[in-house]
Structure formats: structure tokens, C-alpha cells
Structure 1
Amino acid sequence: MSSPVPAPRRGPAPTAGPARFFVGPGATEKSMDFAASSRRLLGLLRPQRHLLIAVVVLATLSVGLSVIGPRLLGHATDLVFAGIFSRRLPAGSTKEQAVAQLRATGHGTQADLLASLDVTPGHGMDFDAIGVVLLGVVVVYAVSGLCGVLQARLANLALQRVISDLRRDVQAKISRLPVRYFDGQPRGEVLSRVTNDIDNFGQSLQQSMSQIVASTLTIVGVLSMMLWISWILALIALVTVPVSIMMATRVGKLAQPQFVAQWRITGGLNAHIEEMYTGHTLVRAFGRQEESAEIFREQNERLYAASWRAQFISGLMQPSMLFIGNLNYVLVAVIGGLRVASGSLSIGDVQAFIQYSRQFSQPLSQVASMANLVQSGVASAERVFDLLDTVEQEPDRAVPAHPERLRGRVAFERVSFRYEPNKPLIEDLSLVAEPGHTVAIVGPTGAGKTTLINLLMRFYEVTGGRITLDGVDVAAMSRDELRASIGMVLQDTWLFGGTIAENIAYGAEGATHEQIVAAARAAHVDRFVRTLPAGYDTVLDDEGVGVSGGEKQLITIARAFLVEPLILVLDEATSSVDTRTEVLIQRAMSTLRAGRTAFVIAHRLSTIRDADTILVMENGAIVEQGTHTELLAADGPYSRLYQSQFAQAVVEI
């Protein structure tokens, strides 16, 4: 089967100017529900829960060991400090005697400090004990680092699987979306959701999830150690937490809509770029480069402004948290020093507590600094979820119907259709195409000719009546079976990046080279392919550069030849080629139509004179039908169309 029929665009009319330039989604863009989207993101992680459990276990080990480190270093500091004190005390005396002597001489503060230390007067520094402690610190941090590396590796594996599954779900969703969705969406906007938004979501999740887990565990572990060392200092450190939460919440609410706008405008900008790139020839031909560039500049400025605001507002969070953390550090240092002087804490405990206070504020700052990543990722995820939540086309029946014998009889029985509920396009239309007959459909632009084909292919569903294939309602058949019996040659040829042979064999998987060549000969493709240096292995890009418009059309006809369809659809297949190529195409199509039910849409009435039935459509209704001779004799709409094309041309000549 050939390429799908592009349904007519029914989107909004241009806002101004003689040419339509897409400028992005309007006010209908749905605002982001951060909480609901975040919960849905967590649901995406559920299939990888086993890996994530391992990540949490390894992160707990890594954080737990790193939290023990400052406590061990504090113990080493106490050993050093005790060694310094013990060397200054006279040998042979006891600690109690030294403390009593200091109190007797009026040095009460030093006596309190000495009482809190584990010293042996005259003994000096215990290097063995210090070495054991420091070796323990090295081992603890080494194991912590190893667990951190393993945790990061497993987290990356889990997240890449999540993104891979999401891409698969989006691709599957696109295949289930109705043609109506793509008619109402600029291609660049859809591509932006499938590529940019998924990439941004993946990067945000990858950079933030492991850090959030580690930071959360660090906060819990450090807080536990702080409470163990001194609940008074721990309460002082906790005073700054509500302030930090209020700051993060406020900044987050201000930054969130800016990230939504950033990715919405990104989609609009991509749509404009894709549109201008696709139609760059027409843009140049009509001298609209300046207008296109101006729209780009406007969109780019809006994206710059939204991105700047989003990053600036979210960027305020980290310095704010750092300032609060520094205040916390000052309070802990001052009060901890007083507690050491009073003998309530050892200097090693205060050192460890200061390290813990730094570790406590650091994850808070890290979580705050990741707010821009999280908000940007959730904004992109929201756009992807919006695509995934789009209403799909109705699924095929569980037990689809099949014609007893495929002959190619197509009947439209009182068919009605409308793109919009209050705007009828086709009303109460009936026609029959007998097997092997050619039905030509003519009429002015917008009469509903291509819509008939879209309804036959079930790209759109009828709103009234039914269409049957050999007596079976096509709505009861599976779409794949229905479309497999229909071959199409369209006015807008579609070739993908690949060889000529691959393009011809697109609809016939497993076709041999001999079959491809036979189809090419029947469609008059072989003659020009033989002149190319690489022959059938000539590589075309997706625009078909390297072959002419008529040659591209012949390739699509060869594609239809190869699948040998039961029903053939020819939609203005010769409207954009020269006269000589048109003759070749007409010959190829005449051969292709032989023995098949064919629907031919044409503006050039010379191409459909030999049709078995000619339907004349106006405003979604059949106003005339018959053979070429009968319709000319009737002197109706068909005759007027015919005269406008030929009689007027003769007069002018």
C-alpha cells in the first residue's frame, strides 16, 4: 500500500496577513498540575521498583557511612586535643588531681574543659589510637564512595529504562491517534513533545532523582547524629528548616508557570522552524523571509524571556538557602563554643556537629537548587502526558467482520459526515462502485472529494449512514485488513530516506528484486532508473531530491503496482507534472486500474473521460452522475466544468 492520505487541515484560519505562519499554542494550553504530574511520574518508576529498592539500599549504606565519618574525625580530634593537654600535665598525677589544682588556682573554665577529656597526665599523644581512627575514616569513606558509584549506576539504568518505556508508549500512542489530531496540530509542536520534552524530562529526572534520594537520606542521618551529640544544638539547627521550606515553596510557586511557558513556547518555536524549513522555497518565492524572521525573533524573544525568568526565579533558591545555612553555622559555632567552654561537650563533638550542620544545610540547598530541574522536567512531562491522554481512535472490534469473498464492491449508503458538530460537510450521500469499475469524482475545491476517500480508509469515521465493502460495514472490519486491500497514489508524493528499490517495496514486505523491477517497468520507472549511476540502489532523501516530481509520482505508482491492491485510489496524481510525464502516468494508471475498483479524484477532466461512472460533487453532495457522454448531454454542472476547461481555452487561442 502506498502512503497514507493526508486529511484536509481544519485548523484555525490565519490571524492576519496573506500567508499563514504558526505562532504557537494559544490560551487553550492547559496549566500544569504539579502535584498530579509528580504522582504520575512516580507511577512511571513502578516497573523498575526492584532496581530502585537496590538504589535506596546502596544510597542508605553510602549516606550512613558518610555520616559516621565526621563522628570518627571528631574522636580523632579529641585524641589529639587530649594528647596536647596530657603532655602539659605533670607525670605521675591523676586527672582528678589536675582538675582540682586548676579549680584551686581560679581556672574553673579550664578545669571544666579538662574534666570532659580522656587524658593521662604526662602520657602525651597516642599516635597508635589516632592512626587506627584515621584508618577507619579512610575505610568508611572508601566503602561509602563505592556504594555511591553502584547506586548511581543502578539509578541510571532504571531511569534509562523508564525513558525507553516512555518513548515506546508515546510511539504506540501516536499510532493509535486519529488523523483528526494531526490535522489540528502543527507537526513541529508534535515533534517537540516527542523529542525535546522527553529528552528534557529524562535529563531532569536523571540529574535530580539520585540527588534527591541521597539528600533526603543525608538529612535523616545527619539529624539523627546531631540529636545524639546534642539535642540543644540540634534544635538550634532545626530553627532554620521552616524558613528554608517557606523560601523553597514561595520561589517554586513563582518559577513553576515560567517553566510551563518556556516549554510551551519552545513547542511553538519548533513548529514555526519546521514549517518555514519545509516551505523555504515558497517563503523565498513570495519574499516572506523578513516576516518569517520577524516571527522567529518574536518567538525567540518570548522564549528568552520565559527561560530567563524561570532560571532567575528558581536560581534565587540556592543563594537564599546558602544564606540561611550560614546563619545556622554561626549559631551552632557560637553556642557550641560556649558548651565546650562549660565542659558540656568535647571539642571533637562540636567539630563533628559543625560538620553535620554543614551536611544538614547542604542537602537542603541541593534540593532547592534542583527545583529548577524538577520544575522544568515536570513541565515537559506534563506536555508528554497531555499527548498520552489524547482521545484515541475507536479500537477495532474484538472479533472483526470479514467479507466472504473480496471482489471490490464499495457502497456508500446515506453517508453523512462533519468535521465540526454544527458544520455539516456531507449529508445523505449514496453511491455504488461495482467491482472492476472506475469511479471518477470531480467538483470544485472543498466539495468533499478527498473526504470521501478519508471515510473509505477510516481515517475519519462517518457520523451517519455506513460504507460497505462487499456487503460488510467497513466500521466492523479491522483497519489493517481494510487498508491492506486499498492502494493509493496521491497528489503529494511521499518518499522516505532510502533506496529507490526500498521506496517501491514500502508496502510489500519481502518483495524480491525481480518483483520490484517488474512493478517499476509497469509504471515506466525502469527507464529512468537505468540511467542513474546506482540504479535501484540510488539513495533518496525524505524530500526525494535527485528525481523530478513526475519521477517521484511514477515511483509511488510502482509502489501501488507491487502490492496489487483490490481497490485503487488515485487522488490528483497528475496535477503537478508536465504533459509528457502525464501521458506516462496515465498509461501506468490505466494498466494499474485494469480489473480493479478504482476511485479517481481529478480536476483535469481529460483524464477521466473513460471512467465507468463520473460523480459531480458540490457542497458535500452528489449533484450529477453518469458517463462522460451522458453528463455532457445533460448540460449540467459537469458540462459547465468541461466547458470552462476546454471551450474557453479554444476561444482564447
Structure 2
Amino acid sequence: MPESDPKPFTATLSNRAVIRRLFRLTWRYRAGCLKVLLIQLVLLSMGIVGLSFTGVGIDYIRHKVAGVPLSPNPLHLAPPEDWPWPHVLGLLAGLILVLALARALLNYSYFVSVNRLVQQQLVVDLRGRVYDRLQRLSFRFFDANTTGSIITRVTSDVQAVRMFVDQVLIQSVIMVISLTVYVTYMASLSPTLTVACLATTPLLWGISAWFSRKIQPAYAHNRTLVEKMVQRLAESVQGIAVTKGFGREAEDRARFDAANQACYDQQRGIFWRVSLFSPAVGFLTRINMMVLLGYGGWLVIRGELPLGAGLVVFVGLLEQFSGQVNNIATIVNSVQQSLIGARRVFEILDAPVEVRNAPDAVRRPRLTGAVNFERVSFVYQPLPSASGPAAFEDEVEPKPVLHDITLDVQAGQYVAILGPTGAGKSVLMSLIPRFYDPTAGRILIDGIDVRRLHLDDLRRNIGIVFQESFLFSNTVAANIAFGHPEATREQIERAARIAAAHEFITALPQGYDTVLGESGSSLSGGQRQRLAIARAVLLEPAILLLDDPTAAIDSQTEHEIFTALEQAISGRTAFIVAHRLSTLRRADFIIVMEAGRIVQRGTHAELMRVPGPYRRVAQLQLVDPAELQQLATTEEIA
């Protein structure tokens, strides 16, 4: 049953809220949990019966050797008086052996069932849900959270949820059932001895509750340190070329060692406290055994408690009881780790899906590409880090990015966007495929508000080439066909030719079947960009968004690409962020942006005739003396 969309991500969840969520999550796997608990109940029963057989055997031997009369026991086990003693002892030994074998088989079944429940079902399902949520979150979430943080949550934090089900919930239920059975059986043997031996138990629970509260902040801090270490590792791997290029390997190692050492030091503090807690619990349980031997032995000597079916069985039960009580240390340790990890997983599942389909979303499998901005403004409000304690409304001051943008682009027009860094060019284009939604105003495509268009239809009608082209660790053909997996080889090659990529692809060892390294690291920047252009062109989209696609390409290749792109752009609406005059000249019209506003618009010829930022940029790139002279004359007249 899918979980309903949770409340927006705000403050950190309380322990009580996290535990409630964990119980609801576990309820989905109740059949597996019930099977595991039933196996444990059978194992518990078999253990008590085995102890009883041992006690009966000891009393029977005393009866035959010393003439001590057989005492009754809670299970009413009594060998027939007319059986020969070798038969009785052989039968008891055989029954104990059969029980041991059965317990071994059941223990195997228990571990297999637990592994299938928590590893093959819960972990896989939960990791899939977290990944699905990540796919639907807006860019704001990824702006606010580091790669290391997200990877840690999908991997180790999901495992922490598994720890709650396996090492906390199931073990706690088993412990409660076991302790109840043990206490009941011990009380049936001797109520006074039971009270005397278990007098320290309330103290154990109090110490455990105190320790649980004290250790939780340490585990939370440890998660943060591990997250920073993973992020440092990810950055080091991604930036290895820069590190080596500047000869900063030693400094990079020192930074990673510092992050790694911080994790170690903090974990050492946790382990030190846990190491003190566990022996303390064990010491208190040994006090119970001291009381048992003293008081229980006195009862046996007085004849108030049988030796075998009484004291020996009581010793076995108390050992089992103490073992379960000692598990408190493990459970307390596990519960804190699992609560911290589960909270971080739930924070992703609770993060708001800001960009989603409207309930009455309009389906348009094919758009013509007319785009209209109607007084669009956008204020960037960063989300906090998912581990941040504050609500995101109070985390960072809002950052205005776009102001009152009005723009009408007819289907098939080619629009160039020019402006300095931070002018809002990329954000303007990001609003078209709804990577973000405008704060004010609206964007229409073919007269329909993009917020009413179905997201799949909207984005499949838009081809995008980003400033930094990302390629997957797959074949060249698969990368080009990423948005259109059903494309034929002929269609893939045609897109590659349009992007001026066919020639270098065929020169690769396996051509289109060459498997690229991570992020296309085996290719040059220009080659990666051309594959990204081919990927966008293959969709045959109604709208093309090109975010400075020729920045990493030499002038000759740029000329080849734009000559080829003329065919692809023809009949399609195209937005391109560009700074080269050769690219700007090709546009039907140009908009110039500064500080989130459109300050100039027009064709190249129109903008060259008026003083302003466009002409200043053009002057820096003009090399034709005649054209420079013409500009100088125009300036004098002005």
C-alpha cells in the first residue's frame, strides 16, 4: 500500500513520530514478522522442554542412587517406575538430542526467514521508495543536499531501518515473550526465589533508559561526520584531475584523513560508552546468579526445592533470562542507530514534491512550441540540508532571480539569450520544462499553462543541452538514445551527424557500441557536448533548450555544429544561451538580461544600432576593421 503524500519537510521528526512510522512500515511485512516470531516461540518452548528433560534426568539419577523421591515438576514429566533405568536415561538423552537437532534446523530457518524479510524485502523495497522519491523531487532539494548526504541516506541509512526491524522490533518482542515465559516458569518452581533473583531487573531498565537518552546525540553527530567524509571522498574522486594538475595530492589526503579521523574519534567515544554499559548490565545479571546459588541452594538443602527439576532448571532459565536481559545493551545501541538512520530516510520521503502533475493535467503528446512568459518572477528559496534542524522557511533569505519577465516566442522561432553570470539566463530556461515553478506569473506553451500540462508530455517535447554535459556509463548509442530508447541505429546515427559527432564516434574502438567511462571521462569536453546535442536532437522536440552548448567547442567545430543544427532547429522553437557573436547573429531575435530582467531585445542588426550591453559585447568580439569603423561612426552620430 503506497504511503500517502506526507506533510511538507519542516522540522526534524521526534523519536515518537519516527517509531510510529517504523511500526507502520513494519506492518507491511507482518506476515514475515509473524513467521519469525512463531519460529522463536517454538524454539523457546523446545528450550524449556529440553531443560526440563535435563532436570528430570538428574532427579531420576538421584532417585536411583540415593533413593531421593521424585519431585513433581511444572511439565509433569515422570518416568514410569517399572522401566529399567538404562531405558529411561537413554530415552531422555535421545529426546534431548532430537530437540537439539530440531532447534538447529529451526535456528537455520529463523536466520533464513529474517534475511529474506529484512534484506530481500524491506531493504530493497525501502531503497526503491527512497530512490523513486528522489526522482520526483525538485531541483531545490538537490541544490540543498550534497551528493555524499544523498548516497549515505540511500545506502547506510536504509540499512539502519533494517536494523530497527531485525535487531530492535523483532528482538524486543522475542525478549518480552521470552522473559514472560521464563518468569512464569520460574515462579511455578519457586515464587520467592524468583522475586529474589529478579530484584535487580527494574534497575537494569532504568539504566537502559538513561543510557538510551544519553547516547542518541552522539549517534546523530556520527552520521553527520560520516556524511562529510563521504562527501569529501566524492569530491576528491570527481576533482582528481584538478588535484593532480595543481599538485595538491598531499593537502587532499590531509583533508580526507582529517574527516576520517573525526569519524574515528567520535565513534571511539560511542564505543567506549557502549563498552562500559554492556559490562554493567552483565554484572547486574551475575548478581542474580549469586542470589540463586545462595538462596536456591538453601531451599534445596531444606527440601523445599528439588535439585534437578528445581534448581538445575532454575539455573538454566536464569541463564536464559540473563542472556535476554543482556540483549538490552544491544537493543539500546541498535535503537539509537536505527532511529537516527530512519529519521534521515523519512526526511527524504517527507521532502515536498513541489513540481507535480495537476489533478486535471492536460495530455498533449505533440506540441507546436509557442512559448509565452507572462509577467514571470522567480524567487529562489533554498531548502535546508535534509539534516538541518530548522524549517526551510527560516533557513536562508529568499533570493530574487527573475523579475517581471514578459516574452512572446512564436513556434519555430530561434531565440538567443545573452547576459553576464548570475543574470538569470539558465533559470529562465529551467522554468520552461518545470525544473522550478515561477513564484509569480505563468508560462504558456501552445496557450496552455505549463503547470497544467502533463509532465511526461511537457518534457518529452523539450530537448535540453546543459552547460555541463553528463553521460552515463553505457554505450555511445545508449547515451544518445537515452530519451528515446526505442530509436533505431539509423535514427541514432542521423542525430549524431546533425551534432557533428558521427566522425569521432566511428573512430572509437567499437564505434557506437563503445562503452564510455564514468561521466564520459574518456572523451574530450567537445565530444561530450556533441553527444549531448545528439541526445537532444534525437527526440525531435518541439522546443530546444541549449545552455551555452558550444562553450567547450572550438570555433571550427562550432561552425560545423550550427551548420548542421540549422536543419534540426528549422520548424522548432529554440532557446540558446550564447556569448559568441557568430551564434547570436543566427537568432531570429535576442534578449539581453541583467540582474534577472530583460534590458534589451531585438535582432542583431537592431541591437547593434543602439548603445547598450549587447553592442559592448559585440565590440569585444568584432575583428573586421570596416565593421569597427561603422560602429565608431554610429557612436559619433549618436
1:178 shift after superposition: 0.8
Q: Secondary structure at the match of 1:424?
A: strand
Number of the residue aligned with 1:410: 371
Q: Secondary structure at the match of 2:29?
A: helix
Give the direction of change, closer, same or farther, for the CA distance of 1:197–1:455 in structure 2 (3 Å limit).
Answer: same
Q: Secondary structure at the match of 2:415?
A: strand
Number of the residue aligned with 1:506: 482
Q: How does 1:27-106 map to 2 (within 5 A)?
A: 33-86=14-67
Please, which of 502, 526, 549 is the counterpart of residue 550 of structure 1? 526
The amino acid across from 2:94 in the alignment is L
How many residues align? The count is 597
Give the direction of change, closer, same or farther, for the CA distance of 1:232–1:125 in structure 2 (3 Å limit).
Answer: farther
CA distance in 1, matches of 2:11, 2:153: 14
Q: Secondary structure at the match of 1:498?
A: coil
Please, which of 218, 221, 231 is the counterpart of residue 271 of structure 1? 231
1:130 aligns with 2:89: yes
CA distance in 2, matches of 1:196, 1:582: 45
Number of the residue aligned with 2:191: 231
Q: Is the 8 A contact 1:437 1:597 kept in 2?
A: yes
1:425-452 Cα shifts (integer Å, max 9, x gaps): 2111111111111111001111111111
Please, which of 492, 495, 510 is the counterpart of residue 519 of structure 1? 495
Number of the residue aligned with 1:154: 113
1:539 shift after superposition: 0.8
Please, which of 327, 345, 350 is the counterpart of residue 366 of structure 1? 327
The amino acid across from 2:367 in the alignment is L
Number of the residue aligned with 1:243: 203
CA distance in 2, matches of 1:196, 1:233: 46
CA distance in 2, matches of 1:533, 1:156: 44
Q: Secondary structure at the match of 2:399?
A: coil
1:198 aligns with 2:161: no
Q: How does 1:108-507 map to 2 (within 5 A)?
A: 126-160=85-119, 161-202=121-162, 205-348=165-308, 349-402=310-363, 406-420=367-381, 422-507=398-483
The amino acid across from 1:217 in the alignment is I
Give the direction of change, closer, same or farther, for the CA distance of 1:72–1:576 in structure 2 (3 Å limit).
Answer: same
1:66-123 Cα shifts (integer Å, max 9, x gaps): 122212211111111122213xxxxxxxxxxxxxxxxxxxxxxxxxx77969999xx9
Q: Is the 8 A contact 1:116 1:344 kept in 2?
A: no
Q: How does 1:518-597 map to 2 (within 5 A)?
A: 518-597=494-573
1:288 shift after superposition: 4.2
1:180 shift after superposition: 0.7
CA distance in 2, matches of 1:309, 1:648: 71
1:157 shift after superposition: 2.0
Q: Which moved more, 1:50-59 or 1:608-617?
A: 50-59
CA distance in 1, matches of 2:549, 2:28: 49
1:137 shift after superposition: 2.3
1:356 shift after superposition: 1.1
Q: Is the 8 A contact 2:475 2:514 kept in 1?
A: yes
The amino acid across from 1:39 in the alignment is R
Q: How does 1:625-644 map to 2 (within 5 A)?
A: 625-644=601-620
1:620 shift after superposition: 0.8
CA distance in 1, matches of 2:10, 2:599: 42
1:154 shift after superposition: 2.3
CA distance in 1, matches of 2:254, 2:180: 53
CA distance in 2, matches of 1:536, 1:45: 47
1:584 shift after superposition: 2.2
Q: Is the 8 A contact 1:612 1:627 kept in 2?
A: yes
1:149 shift after superposition: 2.9
CA distance in 2, matches of 1:219, 1:570: 68
Q: Which moved more, 1:133-142 or 1:496-505?
A: 133-142
The amino acid across from 2:31 in the alignment is H
CA distance in 2, matches of 1:581, 1:116: 99
TM-score where L is the length of structure 2: 0.88
1:227 shift after superposition: 0.6
The amino acid across from 1:576 in the alignment is A
- Runs (4+) off by over 6 Å: 28-32, 113-120, 647-651
CA distance in 1, matches of 2:11, 2:261: 22
The amino acid across from 1:277 in the alignment is V
CA distance in 1, matches of 2:437, 2:519: 31
CA distance in 2, matches of 1:149, 1:405: 58
Percent identity over the alignment is: 34
CA distance in 1, matches of 2:200, 2:336: 24
1:193-236 Cα shifts (integer Å, max 9, x gaps): 11222234435644555544433332122111101111111111
Q: Which moved more, 1:307-316 or 1:594-603?
A: 307-316
Give the direction of change, closer, same or farther, for the CA distance of 1:178–1:139 in structure 2 (3 Å limit).
Answer: same
Give the direction of change, closer, same or farther, for the CA distance of 1:386–1:408 in structure 2 (3 Å limit).
Answer: same
CA distance in 1, matches of 2:217, 2:466: 44
Q: Which moved more, 1:300-309 or 1:440-449?
A: 300-309
Give the direction of change, closer, same or farther, for the CA distance of 1:298–1:533 in structure 2 (3 Å limit).
Answer: closer
What stretches of structure 1 of length at least 5 have no aligned partner? 1-27, 87-112
The amino acid across from 2:110 in the alignment is Q
Q: How does 1:610-629 map to 2 (within 5 A)?
A: 610-629=586-605
Q: Is the 8 A contact 2:355 2:437 kept in 1?
A: no
Q: Secondary structure at the match of 2:367?
A: coil
CA distance in 2, matches of 1:523, 1:415: 33
Q: Which moved more, 1:310-319 or 1:454-463?
A: 310-319
Number of the residue aligned with 1:93: none
Q: Secondary structure at the match of 1:493?
A: coil
CA distance in 2, matches of 1:460, 1:286: 37
Give the direction of change, closer, same or farther, for the CA distance of 1:408–1:116 in structure 2 (3 Å limit).
Answer: closer
Number of the residue aligned with 2:631: none
CA distance in 1, matches of 2:335, 2:557: 57
Give the direction of change, closer, same or farther, for the CA distance of 1:158–1:312 in structure 2 (3 Å limit).
Answer: same
CA distance in 2, matches of 1:381, 1:124: 60
Q: Which moved more, 1:359-368 or 1:306-315?
A: 306-315
The amino acid across from 1:303 in the alignment is C
The amino acid across from 1:261 in the alignment is H
RMSD between superposed Cα atoms in Å = 2.7
Q: Secondary structure at the match of 1:456?
A: coil
The amino acid across from 1:356 in the alignment is L
Give the direction of change, closer, same or farther, for the CA distance of 1:155–1:546 in structure 2 (3 Å limit).
Answer: closer
Q: Which moved more, 1:236-245 or 1:199-208?
A: 199-208
Give the direction of change, closer, same or farther, for the CA distance of 1:648–1:370 in structure 2 (3 Å limit).
Answer: farther
Q: Secondary structure at the match of 1:476?
A: coil
CA distance in 2, matches of 1:32, 1:371: 19
Q: Which moved more, 1:346-355 or 1:136-145?
A: 136-145
Q: Is the 8 A contact 1:557 1:589 kept in 2?
A: no
Larger radius of gyration: 1
